[in-house]
Amino acid sequence: MAETEIFFLKTGEWHNFLKIILSRFKVLAPKQGYYNPEYALLGEEDSDKVLFPGARMTQPLKFFLYPPKENVTQEITPPEKKTIILGVKACDLKAIKILDHIYLDPDFIDPFYKTRRENILIISDDCPKPLDSCFCTLIGGEPFPTDGFDLNLSFLEQGVLVEIGSDKGKTLFSLIKTPLSKASQEQINQRDNNRKTVTEALQERNKEYAFPLEGLSQLIEDKYDSPEWKEACETCVGCMACTNICPSCHCFLLIDETPVAPGAKSKFNIKRSWDSCQSTGFSRVAGGANPRKKLTSRFANRFHCKLQYKPRNYGIFACTGCGRCYEACQGKIDVRQVLSLVAKEPVK
C-alpha cells in the first residue's frame, strides 16, 4: 500500500455499499440487542438494522477469531464465504495486534486462528461516543483507528469517509462500481475535528485518574509485591469475568475429550477452552507447587502480563482501555483506579 487513500461516499452511496457487502459476505455488525447493541449476523435485507455509528460492542472480537471452546484436533476447513466485521473500534484493533503476536507467532502459527483471520475483513470506524468505562487515551490509544483495518469509516453529516487500510480493503471497496470521489481537504479537516472533539472529551472525563504512561512497565515491575495490589483487589471474587471479556486475553486450557466422533480423521478429540490466570489452579504443576496461590498475586499478574510482559515482548500494552473488565466486574474494580492507586506512592 502506498499513500493513504480516502474516499467520500454520500449517505445513499454508503447504503448501497452496505447492501453490496451484505449480499456477498457473511456480515457481523452492531445491531440493537435486548439490552445493548451487539454483534449480530445480518442478512441481505438487514441494511437498515445496522446501528451506526456507535461505541465499542460488549463482545470482544476474539469471540470470532478464537471462540470460547473449539476442537483443535479437527480438520481445518476455510469457510465458503469471507466474514466482514463492521463497527470495530480502535481499541478492538489494538487487541487484535496482541492476539496476532500470540497466535500468528512464526514459531507456531495457530492454524485455526490463522484461517479465521485470513477470512475476516475488518471495517472499523472512528469512535463517536466513548462509553463511561472507556479510557483508551489514558493507555496510549486514540478513539480512532490509524492502522490494522481493511477499511475505516469516519461518519460526517453528509456522508462517510472511507479510508483504505489494506489491499484486501481496496479490493472490497472496488465492489462499488460507480465513480468514486476522493475526500476533500475540507472533509478530512472535518473528520480530524470530530476526532479531536471525541479525544478531548475522553481526556476530560478521565482527568481524575493519574498514572504515568512512560515508565508504566517499570513501575508495575517495581511494585511486584506492593501492598496496593491487596487493597486494589479487596472486592475481587475471582469470577474471571475480567479475563473472559478482555479483548486481548488469550490464555486457554486443553481438554482431552477423546473418544472421537465417528468418521473423524484424528484419533484425538482435544478441545481448547478459554482459561483465566485468575483461576486458582492456573499455574499449579502436577506436584502441587503453585506460584500464584493467592488471589492478590493472581490479580496483580493480570496487570503484570498486560502492562509489563506484553510491552517487553511486543512493544505494546495489552490493555486497550476498552473498560470491558470494569463493566463485567462484580466488585466494580476499575483499571483506571487500580493504576492510579498503584502509581500513587513512589517505589519503596
Binding site for another protein (CB under 8 A): 72-73, 76, 102-103, 105, 107-111, 114-115, 224-225, 250-259, 266-268, 270, 272, 275, 277, 282-292, 297, 301, 305, 308-309, 312-313
Who's near 49: CB < 8 A, 6+ residues apart?
A: 29, 31, 32, 40, 42
CB of 183 to another protein, least distance (A): 39
**Dihedral sign for Cα atoms in the order 210, 145, 303, 67:** positive
CB of 266 to another protein, least distance (A): 5
Least Cα distance to 122 among 104, 157, 102, 95 occurs for: 95
Closer CB to another protein, residue 35 or residue 108?
108
CB of 342 to another protein, least distance (A): 16
CB of 297 to another protein, least distance (A): 8
Q: Spell out the alpha helix ranges (H) of 174-260.
A: 185-205, 216-222, 228-232, 241-245
Closer CB to another protein, residue 70 or residue 147?
70
Closer CB to another protein, residue 34 or residue 108?
108
State residue 243 phi and psi, 5-degree precision. Answer: -80, -30
In contact, 338 and 301? CB cutoff 8 Å: no
> How far is residue 59's CA from residue 17's CA, in Å, rounded to a whole number?
25
In contact, 252 and 329? CB cutoff 8 Å: no
Task: For residue 5, give the amino acid letter.
Answer: E
CB of 131 to another protein, least distance (A): 28
In contact, 263 and 271? CB cutoff 8 Å: no
Closer CB to another protein, residue 2 or residue 286?
286
> How far is residue 313's CA from residue 95's CA, in Å, rounded to a whole number?
15
CB of 235 to another protein, least distance (A): 24
Query: Helix (H, G, I), strand (E, B), or coil: what is residue 35?
Result: coil
Closer CB to another protein, residue 83 or residue 115?
115
Least Cα distance to 233 among 295, 184, 186, 178 occurs for: 295
Closer CB to another protein, residue 261 or residue 286?
286
In contact, 56 and 91? CB cutoff 8 Å: yes
Closer CB to another protein, residue 234 or residue 257?
257
Burial of 323 (0-12, 13-18, 19+ CB in 10 A): buried
> How far is residue 124's CA from residue 86's CA, in Å, rounded to a whole number?
6
Closer CB to another protein, residue 129 or residue 312?
312
CB of 215 to another protein, least distance (A): 17
CB of 150 to another protein, least distance (A): 22
Q: Spell out the alpha helix ranges (H) of 207-294.
A: 216-222, 228-232, 241-245
Angle ∠(33,45,181) on CA atoms, nearest 5? 100
CB of 260 to another protein, least distance (A): 9
Closer CB to another protein, residue 133 or residue 301?
301
